[in-house]
Structure 1
Amino acid sequence: MASKVVQAIYNDDDVLMNAVKQVRAAHHHIEEVYTPFPVHGLDKAMGLAPTRIAIMSFIYGCIGLTVAIVMMNFIMIEDWPQNIGGKPSFSYIENMPAFVPIMFELTVFFAAHLMVITFYLRSKMWPFKEAENPDVRTTDDHFLMEIAVHGNEEEVAALLKETGAVEVNIQEKH
């Protein structure tokens, strides 16, 4: 089912921020905003929920720490105990200070790699996926705001022109 969206193009991020606030104050739903660079505060202005990727990063770090502890205990204590530098290999606790760098590295490794994979999956960005930006100027120096419309195209277009939009288009979105 096709629906209509109004696309407003801006050439300044400050004008875009003010426009987003005005559109939200007028109770219109902003579908998406395309920008050539991150705009600080845009997510809050759009009313987006805070991300939970930091929580997942912590969980992934805990998984990495657990894997490091289990791996080092099995390899260095149970499977193949060795006397390296006069350190006894009777228990994991006695050798833990020597294992701290490995625990740190695997914690960071798991957190970083799994967080990147989670970000790509959550953003629906996989290899060979075509770009979804509706206007190629958004990758260079313009900002685009898409607003879903339901029979009120002229009202929304007039509001967007008042907010400082350089160009306003009505498009069919599939």
Structure 2
Amino acid sequence: MEASKVIHAIYTDDDVLMSAVKTVKAEKYHIEEIYTPFPVHGLDKAMGLAPTRLAITAFLYGCVGITVATVMMNFIMIQDWPQDIGGKPSFSYLENMPAFVPIMFELTVFFAAHLMVITFYLRSRMWPFKKAENPDPRTTDDHFLMEIAVHNNEESLTNLLKNTGAVEINIVNKDEDAH
């Protein structure tokens, strides 16, 4: 079995990187990954990545939060231990709902925020003590790295990347990099 090779093209400017991504995609090459020191606006669209579904999970987690808040307040304040606080009746949840709106809002936000973070970390496979997968430490400072799989097209791909403004081009065996 042949070792899987990738080309690491390094750029020093995000605008040059964006232009290079568009050029590489127009030439029908598959970009494996791009490592950047900060989010580059529009890069996901230029790479052709599918839109995130994290907003859908946020809505669902918010629904869980408001449900938990409603059930909790109904049980605590109406069924389990009803109290006459400031003359407010405790006959039903609906009569007291205006007083419960801040709690409903806060638990909706709490559940959505915390469960979204957990979902993001699990989906990204980022857990505590995980070894960094960043192939070049300069991408955490001021360089951008585009990783493209090589399929017997090293020379043409290298020439294309030089023309797009890459300041450094390295051919790396992915299997050796993983160890």
Aligned length: 174
Between the aligned partners of 1:99 and 1:88, the Cα distance in structure 2 is 13
The runs of 4+ residues in structure 1 deviating greater than 4 Å are none
- In the alignment, the residues of structure 2 paired with residue 124 and residue 156 of structure 1 have an alpha-carbon distance, to the nearest angstrom, of 30
Corresponding residue for residue 32 of structure 1: 33
Instruction: Give runs of aligned pairs for residues 42-121 of structure 1, distance below 5 A.
Output: 42-121=43-122
The one-letter amino acid of 1:110's match is F
Tell me how far 1:154 sits from its aligned partner. 1.2
What corresponds to 1:11 in structure 2? 12
Inter-partner Cα distance in structure 2 for 1:75 and 1:3: 60
Cα deviation, 1:6-61, whole Å, max 9, x if unaligned, reads: 11000000000000000000000000000000000000000000000011001100
**Structure 1 unmatched runs, 5+:** none
**What runs of 5+ residues in structure 2 fail to find an aligned partner?**
none
Q: Distance in 2 between matches of 1:122 and 1:155?
A: 35
Query: What is the TM-score with the length of structure 1 in the denominator?
Result: 0.98
Q: What value does the CA root-mean-square deviation take over the aligned residues?
A: 0.8
Paired residue secondary structure (2:127): coil
TM-score (norm 2): 0.96
Q: Percent identity?
A: 81
